[in-house]
Amino acid sequence: MNSTDFRNLARTISRLEDNHRETVSRIIQLPLDRPQCHIIGITGPPGAGKSTLCNQLLSQLSEKGKVAILMVDPASPFSGGAILGDRIRLNHLAQHPGIYARSLSNRGNPGGVSRWVVTILRLLMDKGFDYLVVETVGAGQSEVKIASIADTTVVVAVPQLGDDIQTAKAGMMEIADIFVVNKADLPGSEKTANMLREVAMDSSGQWKPPVCQTVATSGEGCQQLVEEISSHHTYLVDNNLLEQKRRNAARFELVEMSSWLLHRQLEELLGERQGQLLVSGQVDLYSRLEKAYEAFINSLSEVSD
């Protein structure tokens, strides 16, 4: 891709973010099932070093293929401190010809991932990227949404001085395919890694999440992380689990799109007369909605006929 391609890509993504109808319709018809492409989600609390770690990952992955990174911006009114730092890093990445970096606005979406993120992944997959990295804002429990999108979810923790790893939030533990204890240069790293290893042993699946220790600022341990990420992809492909991951992502996209559409329709189209009916309680709303969704699902099966 040359700089014109990159500019076009940026423009298309902006249109998606602005809910440009034709753009959404076109992109959403692109396949999400390229198995050689790897969607990698990076999550963890703010300040854990996710962005710094992504920088390391990107430069290593870019030696193996075409890489894109989406950073979901904390553009909500509640925060904003991290944006500037991420912007600076983004600019730094943008110098690299093989890497496409894009910051996405979170637009107050409490899930921590912007509404069109899966749709954007379709676009990037279509453009031939091999590695799609999604760094989320890391704002708590709701971050588990990343696990519905990514093939491989990397949960970044930092050394804890106390005994209680639970501070790292139960939900985050369950979604991890790979654990990272970043800032391994700080005291307590080994202890935290051991606690995470115990958590990983308890995981019910066939895949036991490995625990990597990294120093993102120097790059120490990052090569091992890249190897674990590749192993997980291989595991998914070999066990026919990748398709299931992509189905989850597509379902997530559909739910996000539906709820957004619904909001818009209700705001724009719900007139006085219909509003009156809703208030008066004369309509069986539940059955009507159920019927509408049924019709939608049935229309999907017609597509494949």
Ligand X SMILES: Nc1nc2c(ncn2[C@@H]2O[C@H](COP(=O)(O)OP(=O)(O)O)[C@@H](O)[C@H]2O)c(=O)[nH]1
Q: Which is nearer to ligand X, 46 or 128 (CB)?
A: 46
Q: Which residue is nearest to ligand X (CB)?
A: 49
Select from 5-13, 118-126, 183-191, 203-211 the region that touches ligand X (CB under 6 A). Answer: 183-191
CA dist 141 and 138 (Å) reads 9
- Shortest distance, position 171 Cβ to Mg ion, whole Å: 19
Q: Which of 183, 232, 233, 246 binds ligand X (CB under 6 A)?
A: 183
Terminal C-alpha separation, the chain: 37
Select from 49-57, 102-110, 169-177, 279-287 the region that touches ligand X (CB under 6 A). Answer: 49-57
C-alpha count within 13 angstroms, C-beta hemisphere, residue 57: 28
State residue 162 phi and psi, 5-degree precision.
-80, -175
Q: Which is nearer to ligand X, 62 or 217 (CB)?
A: 217
Q: In the range 44-103, which residues lie near Mg ion by CB under 5 A? A: 50-51
Q: What share of the chain is helix, strand, coil (3-state, %, to 5)?
A: 55, 15, 35
Should residue 275 be labelled a site residue for ligand X when binding is judged by CB under 6 A?
Answer: no
CA dist 123 and 31 (Å) reads 9
Should residue 75 be labelled a site residue for ligand X when binding is judged by CB under 6 A?
Answer: no
Q: Which residues, including other chains, have CB under 8 Å from residue 230's CB and lie 6 or more apart?
A: none
| In contact, 181 and 45? CB cutoff 8 Å | no
Q: Which of 50, 102, 232, 233 binds ligand X (CB under 6 A)?
A: 50
Compute the C-alpha angle 273/276/281, nearest 5°.
130
Q: Which of 13, 48, 58, 121 binds ligand X (CB under 6 A)?
A: 48
Q: Which is nearer to ligand X, 186 or 261 (CB)?
A: 186
Q: Which residues, including other chains, have CB under 8 Å from residue 287's CB and lie 6 or more apart?
A: none
Should residue 224 be labelled a site residue for ligand X when binding is judged by CB under 6 A?
Answer: no
Q: Which of 7, 11, 36, 85 binds ligand X (CB under 6 A)?
A: 85
CA dist 200 and 183 (Å) reads 20
Q: Which does 56 bind (CB under 5 to 8 A by kind): Mg ion, ligand X, none?
A: none
Which residues are at the interface with Mg ion (CB under 5 A)? 50-51
Residues that bind ligand X in the complex, under the rule CB under 6 A:
46-52, 82, 85, 138, 182-183, 185-186, 215-217
